[in-house]
Structure 1
Amino acid sequence: MMAKRLPHAQREATLKLALYRIQRGRAHTKATKVSVASVAAEAGVSTALIHNCYPAIADAIRAAQGHTRIQQRDELRTLVKELKVRLKQAQEELSQVREQRRRLASINEVLRSENAVLQASVEGKITRLLSNSGKR
């Protein structure tokens, strides 16, 4: 047999009392931390019921935890802004590193070709021709 549903006002009062008992350390379920799950267990309802039907109670629970929707939203917005700034800095640094790598690769190729010419000259494979004036 299913338990009879309580009227909205009575269920709300039950939830408020459950929250109060947990806050005062007098919970029947030995809950010590205030959370939606602990209040739901104390009141004998599901967490979904609190979230879906009693948003004011859910807000009161979050406020008791030190988290309100507005605070959470503002914290997330601040975090997103900070992350966007960090991302932009990282992208700029990446583009600078890529440009530096491109320049170094070009310099490296020039040095490789010069090194190959000098190596061949040392091994005697290449001889330098003197110009008409006798200068190198």
Structure 2
Amino acid sequence: MKSKGKTANYKPAEDREKDLKLAIYRLQKGRAHSKETKVSIAAVAREAGVSTALIHNHYPAVAEAIREIQGRSSRAVRDVKHQDLIAERQKSAAYRQEVDELKAKLASIASINEVLLEANHTLKAKLRDRNVVELAAANKRS
């Protein structure tokens, strides 16, 4: 005689998939036997009397259908992340361009500053020389 251990819950894959789809349908219609109210992989698993791992590992199409119902299908999430990546790359390119422009302005301002510092130094030197001459001229007159 065979024992009714693990093999008692065994169902063919097609039957198990139908059970999972019916569980999803019951959850969507608010007729769940498990009193679940939201469609999730865990809720479907409880409703169908299986583990979440079974859904993830053996019924990826069912898992994807559940994610689509939740509004977060793998494709949709991937597409949103791809669009976000494109937007961030555009922002990054704009920031790099702005940095380059600011570096060019800074170089120009630094150059102007050097010219002004040199002119200031020259004027101070002329002013010092002029004061010495004026003092010498004033001393000669007295």
User: Could you tell me which residue of structure 1 aligns to residue 44 of structure 2?
Assistant: 39
Q: Deviations over 1:20-69 (max 9, x none)?
A: 12111222343322222322233333333212210121122122223444
Match of 1:127 in 2: 129
Give the alignment of 1:1-136 within 5 angstroms.
3-4=6-7, 5-7=9-11, 8-116=13-121, 118=123, 120=124, 126-128=128-130
- Output the TM-score relative to the length of structure 2: 0.67
TM-score by length of 1: 0.69
Unaligned runs of 5+ in 1: 131-136
Query: Larger Cα Rg: Structure 1 or Structure 2?
Result: 2
My pick for the range that moved more, 61-70 or 87-96, is 61-70
Residues 105 and 30 from structure 1, CA distance in 2 versus in 1: closer, same or farther, beyond 3 angstroms?
A: farther
* Alpha-carbon distance between aligned partners in 1 of 2:74 and 2:15, rounded to the nearest angstrom: 25
Q: Which amino acid aligns with 1:6?
A: Y
* Unaligned 5+ runs, structure 2: 134-142
Identity between Structure 1 and Structure 2 (%): 43
RMSD of Structure 2 on Structure 1 (CA): 3.1
Q: How many residue pairs end up in the alignment?
A: 127
